[in-house]
Amino acid sequence: MQHPYGDIPELTNLEAGRGIVRIPVEQDVPFTPRVRALVDTPEFQRLRQITQLGLVSRVYPGATHTRFEHALGVFHNALRYVWQLGRDARFCEIVDRHTAEVLLASALLHDLGHWPFCHPIEDMKLPGLPPHEAFAAEFLAPGSPLAEVLQRDWGIEPDEVLDVLVTRTDTPALRLLRSILSGPIDIDKMDYLGRDSLHCGVPYGRHFDRNRLMSSLVTNAAGDGLAISSKGRTAAELMVFARYVMFSEVYWHHAVRSATSMFARAFFHLHEELDLETFFRKSETETIDELRRRAGDGPCQDLLEGVFGTHRALYKRVAEFSFTEAPELYQRLAQKPYDWLVSFGEVLAEEAGGVLGTRVEPTHLLVDAPPPHREVEFDVEIYSAKTDSYRSLRDASPVIDALARTQFDDYVKRVRVFAHPSLARSLTDSGRFDECLEQALGRVGDGDGDLE
């Protein structure tokens, strides 16, 4: 029987193995003329200048892969998902050929609005900052090269892609597409877990059976999202664990978070001096140069030079609190607004100065904590062909129940205090840092950013 989407040229090339571009690891991505036309636009080419993991490379030297490479990987996954889901009659009833092509274009362009160091900046929730998905709208504006290629070569209106990337209208078909792009078993995670693991030189993100998981994809009971057949259960469990370990050992590694905290604090102090519309269009190198120039010899100099300068000098961890080992302190500091963390850090610096008998610069103590928003909860339906019924993977799996609830953030993300290298030894040797913390907590408000 002919595949219902078999006349989509990229799917034809996927099966034939022709007209491809190769990305790590030995991944053959169909590269038809209309895909090339999108990729060759200035808006897409800018992704070559933005690394996928940003500050992670300060700890894992190989993590210099770009969002350009990642976008091609996500597009490849989208093709494989569509090929598999084309065997599901319910999916084909909901998603016609044109809608499938909208998904493919959206997958290729899903990171279009990212700017350098996008996630650390967005985590601060500073007033006036657009989410990166909304920023993509400017690159798909009428008359832009991308808009023209979509209309001319794909027969797709830019607004159709934007409606997948940033929710504007609501239909079962659109919810289904969005779940493929951003959901528990989406094409984005399917790529970044393995790709980040590869480039970081760690095995954690690759230890699940991607092929088995993809071959188990079906439509959920409501017809507005993904589910898996029972044969994909073990692969899904392993994917959950891979995600858990990558967060624990890579994305929230203490030294990675030190570099992230240093960058975030500098951006917090400098962002009002920047023309953000222009700044967010810069390459990663240009972004770093601009911030270092703005910092000059002021209080942000140590922060930025320690991360990006010729002599790497990351701040040292002087305290750490987890949900399980120090729940009271963790809960008092986690999920707080960023400006409150800055205020608390400045009060903590004053208290530390009192203990040490010397002035401690406000930017020499940084408090890093899980941001208010949480990661996507990992739960998906399992379809049983024997009983023609669906049940929650969480109900069927102790692994999912333990690792994929909303508490995921609590177990992989820790509250940490980092100190300037010249200060860290003195603080730990004093034996009085816990006292400083208690004094500082006694002086701050309840998390609204105000001091008592």
* Residue 3 covered by a domain: no
Residues 302 and 388 both lie in one domain: no
* Residue 2 covered by a domain: no
CB 448 within 8 A of CB 337: yes
Residues 24 and 112 both lie in one domain: yes
Residues 262 and 348 both lie in one domain: yes
Query: Pairing mode, if any, of strands 27-30 and 20-23?
Result: antiparallel
Residues 178 and 146 both lie in one domain: yes
Tens of pLDDT, residues 152-207? 999 999 999 999 998 889 999 999 999 999 999 999 999 999 999 999 999 999 99
CB 270 within 8 A of CB 430: no
CA quadruple 334, 339, 341, 344: dihedral sign: negative
Burial of 328 (0-12, 13-18, 19+ CB in 10 A): exposed
CA quadruple 214, 216, 219, 222: dihedral sign: negative
Residues 349 and 368 both lie in one domain: yes
Residues 261 and 173 both lie in one domain: no
* Residue 325 covered by a domain: yes
Residues 303 and 427 both lie in one domain: yes
Number of folded domains that form the chain: 2
* Residue 53 covered by a domain: yes
Residues 383 and 302 both lie in one domain: no
Least confident of 28-37, 379-388, 399-408: 399-408
- Distance of alpha carbon 323 from alpha carbon 406, whole angstroms: 13
* Residue 271 covered by a domain: yes
Q: Concatenate the DSSP letters of all residues of 124-175 into one string.
A: T--TTPPPHHHHHHHHTSTTSHHHHHIIIII---HHHHHHHHS--S--HHHH
- What local confidence, expressed as pLDDT, does residue 449 receive? 42
* CATH number where 388 lies: 1.10.3210.10
Residue 132: other Cβ atoms inside 10 A: 19
Residues 159 and 171 both lie in one domain: yes
Kindly report the pTM of this predicted structure. Answer: 0.94
Q: What is the largest CA-CA distance in the chain?
A: 80
Residues 226 and 321 both lie in one domain: no
* Residue 263 covered by a domain: yes
Residues 263 and 231 both lie in one domain: no
* Residue 451 covered by a domain: no
* Residue 450 covered by a domain: no
Name the one residue in this structure whose structure tokens are 């951006």.
267
Residues 92 and 201 both lie in one domain: yes
Domain that holds residue 265: 254-372+411-443
Does position 133 have pLDDT exceeding 80, yes or no?
no
Tens of pLDDT, residues 221-279? 999 999 999 999 999 999 999 999 999 999 999 999 999 999 999 999 999 999 988 89
